[in-house]
Each structure stands twice: as structure tokens, then as C-alpha cells.
Chains A and B, each alone.
Chain A
Amino acid sequence: MFEEMRKEPFFKEMRYSMHLLGQSYLSIAGLAIILLFVFMAVFTSFIAPYEPNVIDLANTLQPPSLEHLMGTDEYGRDVFSRVIYGTRYAFLEGLLAVSISLTVGTTLGLLSGYRGGMTDEVTMRLMDILLAFPYLVLAICIVSALMKPEGGFFLDPLMSGILAISIVSIPSYARLVRGTVLSVKETEFVEAARANGASSLRIAFVHILPNSLAPIIVEATMSLGTVVISAAGLSFIGLGAQPPTPEWGALIASGRFLLPTYWWCATFPGIMILLFVMGFNLFGDGLRDILDPRLRR
């Protein structure tokens, strides 16, 4: 049976894709970086030598040494441990924001492209409106509208930030999916499904959606990085994760005022963001080359 399966076009395609992936050193490097971060997020407590929030006033602002690989901050907390714990927040922000915007955006795009007419018109105008705002500015605006006038937030600040970023990322998915739906909608296999009496819902999700998966996967991979940069940007100006949360943007924000003497507090979290985002960018680039047959040469 296994032999039979190996001849299926799907598996042939998969094997070919794997082969292509293996040929591209940069995407392999990207994948390796991603896996390293996944490892750090899973085994955080084994890798981090100290508790992230334990204050040690005898050892404040120590420069990087063997004991504290990335030094300590103004409360004597180990920067290396905090940065490792930050990996979890990066994945939380990235995965949550991407899955929210992906779900909502894909549904809107499917509906819009498949139904056409007024549905399409209204949805796309809504997306245009969201796109008219500069990405980060709209996110800032949404989070600050969630602040209580007497101080504090209506929603957990980290979640407010993730929610805001999810909302502003919806249009790119909606547009992408709508475009692919429009090109697939008129093909013969969709017509065949319709002739067989399949419902609209079934056609949209079972026949059309799988054909738009490739660009969605690429977009999601690439935007996982972008989302983490934006979330860090929000925490940097005090609108996302709040101290003492060891989120990378918040770490940079509190390390900012320790420059120039205690440079390690702001420098290392930034390097982590750079590597994290770079991993997803490299891998996403490679995925696009593989999943887009036109780019295969």
C-alpha cells in the first residue's frame, strides 16, 4: 500500500518540493533558525540558567561574563534568561496574531471572491479603508483606544497589542485569497463540482481554498516575522507587553535608558528579534520559490 501511495501525484510533488528545499541553502538556514527558536521556546526552563524575574540587587548591571552570558539589568536579572523566555512571547504574538488575521482574512477573501457582487464590493472597500492607514499607526490607534482614561487597559495590554496587529493584518490575506479565488473560480473542476450538486460552502472550502493554500502559507510565514517586529514596536512605546514581562520589545524599551554604558540590556533582545524574523523571512522566501511553480527553473 505504501508503494501505491508513493506514486500518488501529491506525494511525488511533496518529494520534489523537499528536494528543491534541500537545494536552497538559504531556506535551510532559515528553517534551522526557526527550529532553534522552537527548541528554545519549548525547553526554556532547561536552557535559561536563572529565573527571568528574580531580582538580585547584589549583581545589578553586570557586563556579560561566563556567569551571566548577556550581563544583568538594573535589578540584577539575568538578561540571557530573560531573552530566552522572550522567545515564548514572540511565538505567542506571532502565532496568535497570524492565526487570527489568517482566519478572518481568508474567510473574507473566500466570501468576497466567490460571492462577488455587493459582498465583494463592501468587503474590499472595508479592506481599502484599513489599508489607507499606515500599518503601525492604526495599530497604535486601536491599542490606545483600549486604554482606560484613568490608567491601565480594558484588555490585557499584550493581548490588546496582538489584537490590534491582527486587525491591521487582515487586508493582506483577504486580498490575496480573493485574487486566487477569482482565478480558480472559473476553472472546469469547480464547474464539475457544481454540476455534481456541491453546495457553495463545500465548493468554497473544499475545492477552491486548497488551491489558494500555497500563497497563504508563504504570506503567513513571512508575516510571522513582521508581526513580531510590530508587536515589539508597540511594546517599545509602552502599548504592548508591559515590564517586567520579558518580551523582547519591552526589554529593549527598558534597556534604552541604560545606553551607552550598560549596552547589553538593549542590544541582545534586538539581536534575537533580528534572528527570529530573519529565519522566517529566509524560510518564507524559499517556500515561495518552491510553491510557486512559475519560479522553478
Chain B
Amino acid sequence: MKLRDYIARRLLLLIPTIIGVTLVTFLLTNLMPGNPVRLLLGERAASPETIAALEAQYGLDRPLYIRYFVYLRNLFMGDLGMAIHTPFPVSTEIMARLPATIELGVTALVLATIVGIAVGIISAVRSNRLSDHVSRVFALTGVSMPVFWLGLMLLLLFYYRLGWLPGMGRLSVSIGLEHITGLHTIDAILTGNLTAFVDAVKHLILPAFCLSWLEMAMIMRITRSSMLEVIRQDYIRTARSKGLRERVVIYRHALRNAMIPTITIVGLSVGALLGGAVLTETVFAWPGIGSFMVESISFKDIPVVLGITVVLAFANIFSNLIVDILYGVLDPRVRYG
């Protein structure tokens, strides 16, 4: 199979997944014990006439399958309905907060990938020495620790006790920044605002580190074990016996094959990262869609919760697609599966 056909096949496979995902969120809104109109009204009391009028207004008197198609159409036009606890459409609320989540998530993912792979390699090459043991303990605590508790402990130490880093939000109140992309670090660079850049990076350090620890641990573990496996293979022995330098053997010959399982894990961990972002944002009062989701839960604002769920599911599907394609590029055997 050519790479082009492989990508086309992957894209086609997305269709049933997207239909399924939207069907799940649709059914959760419409079939749950709480009738959607009651949901909209919240705690307000209403006469039967008002309820009937609202049902007609939102098209709830039509059959379920028609409502699903309407929901799907609206979804692809970017219409996720109205939020309950704010006066704006759900999509407006999400778009306003999305850059914050992207900035945090991408930073954490990049941090986890770079550090995870680097430490994984060092750990494998120096297996069973002190540096290996230290990194394995680090990885083990990473996968055993609840991310929200880690966040609180980081706040306690670096913000409350030592005062080295800011603990809440994305930018100090005193600092003004022009809004271009919504990513504060990028905006600061674009406007040449050094003070704002430093401040934004300082705000980013704790939450990004907190969010990345789990992924870092997973990437480290898999890189270490696949590297150890590759190093034992015959072609590595051949490379060494040819008299190649150890650096060349490790980075040119071993690393490329060891990377294949690592890339799978990076892709799979995006889902965990997105879920972790909800908790991390809550702990650090990071104004992204994750903390907004939690805020909406406390207001029982189900349209917002489901809207954010759809957005996060799409982000997850999209990142898995990228990994699948990368996988096909790196390892041609995959394309024939």
C-alpha cells in the first residue's frame, strides 16, 4: 500500500468514529433521566405551557433521529448550543479559553516527549547504574501519583513556601499584553514584550511540569525498554564490531527502531494528557476549557460539559490520526496490516 492510500484509509476510518462520538454525546444529552428542558430551566419552576413552548423552540418535539441530524449539522457549523450559567453560546465560551489549554497542553507534551526520550535513552544505555535507578523511581512515582495532588504539592512548595514561582493564572495582573493568537508566550514574542514573556513562562512552569510528569514517566519507561531490546539485536552488534563509535551506534542505528513504540505511547498519552489537563487547570486556576468544564459541572451546565467533551474527543481523535500516519511513515510494514 502506498503512503497516500494508507492516509486515505485512515481518514475514511475516522467517519464511523466521529459518528459514534457525536452519537454518544447526543444520547447523553437527550436520553438521560433529566429531561433537557428541565435541564435548561434548572431550578426555576415552569408551567406546562412554558415547557411545551421551550420544547418546540429547541426542536425537542421532533423524533430523536431528526434531532440527531440537527445536532450534527449544528456541531459542524460550530454551534454547540447556549450555555446555561453564562449568557453566551457554548462555542464562544470554548473559543475564548481554548488558547490557554492549547498553550498548556502543547508545552506539557513537548516537555514530556523531549525529557522522556532523553532520560529513557540514558537510562537504557547506563542500565542498572545509579542514573537508571533514579529515573526509574521518577517514572514509577509519575504513574502512581494523582495529577491534582502533585499540583497541590508543587504549589505548596514552590509558590506558598519558597515563593519562587507564581501559582495561579496565566499572567500577573499588572502586566498588559496585546491579544493576537491567545497564546501568551507567542503573543509576547510577537509584540517584543520581554517582561510579559518572562512572566508568562514563569506562570507556565508549574502547571506544565505537573501535567507532563505522567506522560514523561510513560515515555521514559517505553523508550528505556524498547531501547534495551534493540541494543541486544544482531545488527547493533554488527555496527559495533564494524568499529563504529558508540554515539553513532546508539543515535543512528538503535534509536530509530526504538522510537516506534515510543511514538505509539506519545499518541496514546494525549488522551490521558487531555484528561489530566482538566484537573491540572483546576488546581492552578488556569483559565482554559478544563477548568471551565469543572466550573460548569458545579453549575450543572450540561451543554457546556458536553460541548467541551466533544472538543476534547476531537482533539484526541486528531492526535491519534497523526500518530497513525507517522507510524506508517516510520515503519512501512504497518501499511500492509
Contacts and interface: CB of A to CB of B under 8 A. Distances in A.
Interface of A: 125-126, 128-129, 131-138, 140-142, 144-151, 154, 225, 229, 232-233, 236-239, 249, 252, 256, 259-260, 263, 266-267, 269-270, 273-274, 277-278, 281-282
Interface string B261-297: 0000000001111111011001100000000011001
B278 A237 contact: yes
Contact of B278 (A137, A149, A238, A263): A137
A238 B145 contact: no
B151 to A, nearest CB: 10
Interface residues of B, number: 58
A147 B300 contact: yes
A133 B144 contact: no
Interface of B: 16-17, 20-21, 23-25, 28-29, 32-34, 38-39, 41-43, 140-141, 143-149, 152-153, 155-156, 160-161, 270-276, 278-279, 282-283, 293-294, 297-298, 300, 302, 305-306, 308-309, 312-313, 316-317, 320
Nearest to B150: A270
A267 to B, nearest CB: 7
B111 to A, nearest CB: 19
Given A138-B309, A142-B28, A270-B153, 14 more contacts: A128-B16, A129-B21, A132-B17, A134-B270, A134-B273, A134-B312, A137-B312, A144-B302, A145-B32, A229-B145, A232-B149, A259-B152, A259-B156, A274-B141
Contacts of A147: 34, 297, 300, 302
Given A134-B274, A256-B152, A144 B305 contact: yes
Contacts of B302: 144-145, 147
A140 B23 CA distance: 17
Nearest to B18: A132
A137 B279 CA distance: 10
Contacts of A128: 16-17, 20
B276 A136 contact: yes
Contacts of A238: 294, 297-298
Contact of B297 (A136, A140, A142, A148): A140
B272 to A, nearest CB: 6
B161 A225 contact: no
30 contacts: A125-B17, A132-B17, A132-B316, A133-B24, A133-B309, A133-B312, A134-B271, A135-B275, A137-B309, A137-B312, A138-B309, A141-B25, A141-B28, A145-B302, A148-B34, A149-B300, A225-B144, A229-B144, A232-B148, A233-B275, A237-B278, A237-B282, A237-B297, A259-B155, A259-B160, A267-B156, A274-B141, A278-B140, A278-B144, A281-B143
Contacts of A232: 146, 148-149
A206 B308 CA distance: 44
Contact of B313 (A134, A148, A150, A270): A134
B316 to A, nearest CB: 5
A128 B309 CA distance: 16
A154 B33 contact: yes
Contacts of B38: 149-150
A151 B161 contact: no
Nearest to A232: B146
A266 B140 contact: no
A283 B113 CA distance: 27
A148 B161 CA distance: 41
A288 to B, nearest CB: 11
Contact of A266 (B43, B143, B149): B149
B25 to A, nearest CB: 7
Task: Specify which of A132, A148, A150, A263 lies most central, judged by the most chain B CB atoms within 10 Å of its CB.
Answer: A132
Contact of B161 (A142, A249, A260, A273): A260
A278 B33 CA distance: 38
B149 A135 contact: no
Contact of A233 (B148, B300, B317): B148
B144 A281 contact: yes
A143 B276 CA distance: 17
A266 B313 contact: no
A281 B218 CA distance: 13
A49 to B, nearest CB: 24
B152 A270 contact: yes
Contacts of A239: 297
Contacts of A142: 28
B160 A133 contact: no
Contact of A270 (B146, B273, B305, B306): B146
Contacts of B297: 140, 144, 147, 237-239
Contacts of B28: 141-142, 145
Nearest to A237: B294
Query: Which 10 A-B residue pairs are closest in the complex by CB-CB distance?
Result: A136-B275, A129-B20, A260-B160, A270-B149, A278-B144, A134-B274, A277-B144, A134-B271, A134-B275, A145-B28
Contacts of A137: 274-275, 278, 293, 308-309, 312-313
B20 A252 contact: no
